[in-house]
Amino acid sequence: MKKVQLGMKAPEFTFNTPWLESNQLYDVLENKKTILMFLRYYGCSLCQLDIATLISGYEKIKGNNAQVLVVLQTEPALISEQVNHEKMPLTIVCDPERVFFNLYGVEPGKSESDLLSEEVLEKLKTAKERGISKIDNGGKQNELQLPATFIINPDGNIVYAHYGTHAADIPNVNDLIILTSGQ
């Protein structure tokens, strides 16, 4: 599986959100910096916590003329049943067949031990304290999926690429704010 490299054009794809069908990546760039974050699936408690954290920092990210697209291995209907569109500032990209994960070279781990780290355990503890629990994803997910984060500039070039080495290995919101401030 070929990984995305800095400086290359972001691979184009057509995607569905829980609320809109047939969106083109390059159409939604809208002259903004775009954080393209690949998480596991919506039912994953880590991913729900990451999404909530992204939402809490979204205004600062938006202040950098940036937006966030979160790619999940989840069917649109499962998310639209759980999430109020009006309260979701992020664009949720539904990829239940992992086509975009493959396009961007975002691979799963080889075993459960590849997913674990101290950070994962801390995030799981935080999720539990906040009442976030795992939700059924309809069996579409690859439980061993690792995350990845890319930043695409308004011209469609990859200016940041990070492939996660464990399930919680994504930049935090403050890092994303810094990364999008100077791009």
Give the start-to-end residue ranges of the domains of the chain: 15-178
Confidence of residue 101 (pLDDT cuts 50, 70, 90): very high
If you compute the radius of gyration of the chain from its CA atoms, what whole number of angstroms results? 15
Q: Hey, is 54 helix, strand or coil?
A: helix
Secondary structure (3-state) at 145: strand
Q: What is the pLDDT of residue 115?
A: 84
Tell me if residue 59 falls in helix, strand or coil: helix
pLDDT confidence of 120, banded at 50, 70, 90? confident
Cα dihedral: 78, 76, 143, 130 (round 10): -60
Domain 15-178: CATH superfamily, name plus number: Glutaredoxin (3.40.30.10)
> Beta 148-152 vs 33-38: how paired, if at all?
antiparallel
Q: What is the mean pLDDT of the chain?
A: 92
Q: Give 133-161 pLDDT, tens digit per residue.
A: 777 767 678 889 999 999 999 999 999 99
What is the token pair recorded at 65? 């003329």
pLDDT of residue 143: 86
pLDDT value at residue 54: 97
Which residues fall within 8 angstroms of residue 175, CB to CB, at 6 or more apart? none
Q: Which two tokens stand for residue 32?
A: 């903004």
User: pTM for this one?
Assistant: 0.93
Rounded Cα–Cα distance for residues 58 and 72 (Å): 18
CA distance 46 to 167: 8
**pLDDT value of residue 183:** 54
pLDDT digits (tens, 9 = 90+) for 34-45: 999 999 989 888
Residue 20 predicted with pLDDT over 70: yes
